[in-house]
Each structure stands twice: as structure tokens, then as C-alpha cells.
Amino acid sequence: MKKDNQPIIMFDGICNVCNHWVQFVIKRDPKGIFKFLSLQSDLACSLITDHNLNNKQLDSIILIDKDQIYTESTAILHIINKLTGPIRFFVLFWVIPEKIRDKVYRFIAKNRYRFFGKKKVVSFLVKKYKIGLLKRKQKVGKPMNRSTFLKKLRMTIITTFRWSLALTFLIYGIAKIYPGQFSTGDFIYDSTKDSAMQLAWHFFGYSDTYNLFIAFGEITAALLLVIPKTATLGNIIYLPITVNITILDFCFEIPARSVTTLLTCMSIALLFFEYKKLKRVFFDWPVAAETSLPTNLIKKKVNVQ
């Protein structure tokens, strides 16, 4: 097969969430960097043979870029890094260990049909182009005015921050439950050899109940942040947790302190975006309506029998 330097995204053509992901990428790839290929197409079979892909890799989004093969969460992050717009904020997830990222990805991939459903036939995206490689149509629209641009920018920032915060806590919350984030077992601390981080990790790993309590708080805040109507409540729960984690990271010299500092700043920024709403809830007391009787009332005589 003739080699092509253009990155190719291979996806499950009957998977609903995979097809939504493809459409999501196409909208944020105006230069047409990527080509897309369904795993059910004949062309995909040739690429699978050429690159010796195994069954485990085929149960994932696959990115082929300059003869390099990327799968699972790493493929997603490489794709996001080439897109345009605020979605690129999600490349910050590189700081999360690959094992943790991939465990969450595998859980979603394994249950993708159960959670999101599947198509009876290969997506129209593939049927439309017989060879399986998708093209794009550039949309020409009217230039938006400044007010509309600022509103869209504000909503984009809020949505990006919400999802970044939610996904980070969701990943770490699940990791605390399985396979476990902290160290367990007997530990004798030696200040001349052991780091402060080791001490903190054994402290948090000592009690399973406390570990589950932290995980429950992080997952609850994450789920509330994902839902627009409960996002403000989720962020109110989120902020004290991430502030506490940030202080611990600095005090115990945990390398993730740069990430937790960023998460704290994003959480605070979301509160500022919701300032008017929070002000109405916590500071503005409802004003009692003043009613006054008209002075020119008509007097009527009432006969009581």
C-alpha cells in the first residue's frame, strides 16, 4: 500500500460514541489534517496487516501518524493536540500517568455499546465515501459581531473548564477505588531516606474507608460539574477539595502541585463567571413588595339585615 504522511484515525464504524467523536474532530479540523477510516472497511484490513495490529489495539481508537501507532488515551491526546480551539486545554491530561488514563479508557471502550448503543450497519460517514476515507466541506458563514463572539468565548471557556475539572476528578476518583492510588502495607518512616510524599501516600492508603470517602467526594463533584444545571453546586464542592489537595502537594513536595494549582485556578475562575448567580443566592435578600391602598376609595353603604 502506498504510504501517506497524513494522519489517519481508525474507528469502530458501528459504535455511536466513536462516530460522534469523528464528527467532533471534523468540526475542529478546518485544515483537514486527519483522514478517517472505519475498522470495518477493506482499506482498514490492509492497514491492520501492514502495521501488524493486534486484537487489543483494534478495541480502541487508533491513530497512525508517520508510521507511529497510538492507541487508547494516548491516541486521543495526540488527536486533541492537533485540533483548534479551547479543546486543546485537554492536552493537560498528559500529566496523568498513562496507566490510569488507559484504565479509564478501557472501561469506557469495553462498555461502549452498553452505554452508548451501536448501529446495525456501518455509519453513513463511511458509506458516503466508498474507500472509507472521509472528506470535509468547509462552511462559509457570516462574520459574528463582537457581542456574539464574547458570549461564545465565555461559554466555550466555561464548558472547557467544567469538563477539564470533571474528567480530572473522575479519573482520580475511579483510580482511588480501583486499582488504588495510594500505598498500603506496613511502613516505617526514615526521614533520612524516605520522601515526604511516601509518608503522605502511606497515610492516605492506611484507611480504606477514608480512601473511599475521598473518592466519593471527587466523583460526586465531577458528576455534578458535567450536568449544566448542577455545575455551580459541583464547583462549590470541588473548590475546597482541590484547595486541600494543592496545599498537601506543596507541603509534602508532591510533583502534581502544578496540576492541582491549575485546577484550583480554573475552579476559582468558574466561580467568578457565576458571580451574579452566586450573589443572588447568598447576598441579595428578596425585596418585599410595597403595596399601598389608593386614597380615593369609593365609600359604599352596606345594609346588614
The 10s digit of each residue's pLDDT in 262-289 is: 999 999 999 998 888 888 877 776 655 5
Q: Which of 14-28, 165-179, 234-248, 260-274 has the lowest mean pLDDT?
A: 14-28
| Residues in the chain, total | 305
- Tell whether 233 and 114 lie within a shared domain: no
Which one is predicted more confidently, 192 or 245? 245
| Confidence (pLDDT) at 143 | 62
| Confidence (pLDDT) at 140 | 44
* 291 occurs within a structural domain: no
Domain, as residue range, for 184: 146-282
**How far apart are alpha carbons 107 and 104 in whole angstroms?**
5
Terminus-to-terminus CA distance in the chain, angstroms?
108
| Confidence (pLDDT) at 130 | 37
- Tell whether 259 and 167 lie within a shared domain: yes
**How far apart are alpha carbons 161 and 76 in whole angstroms?**
18
- The pLDDT > 70 percentage for the chain reads 81
- Tell whether 239 and 151 lie within a shared domain: yes
* 305 occurs within a structural domain: no
If you average pLDDT over residues 42-63, what whole number do you get?
A: 73
| Confidence (pLDDT) at 292 | 56
- Total number of domains constituting the chain: 2
| Confidence (pLDDT) at 270 | 93
| Confidence (pLDDT) at 100 | 81
- Tell whether 121 and 155 lie within a shared domain: no
- Tell whether 104 and 154 lie within a shared domain: no
| Confidence (pLDDT) at 245 | 94
Q: Is pLDDT of 134 > 50?
A: no
What pLDDT band is residue 298 in, cutting at 50, 70 and 90? low
- Tell whether 186 and 77 lie within a shared domain: no
Q: What is the pLDDT of residues 151-202, one digit of tens each?
A: 888 888 888 889 889 989 988 898 888 777 887 777 788 888 888 998 898 8
Task: Print burial letters for 105-136: b (CB count within 10 Å at least 16), e (below 16).
Answer: beeebeebeeeeeeeeebbebbeeeeebbbee
What pLDDT band is residue 128 in, cutting at 50, 70 and 90? very low
| Confidence (pLDDT) at 40 | 75
Look over the chain and give the mean of its residue pLDDT values, rounded to a whole number: 79
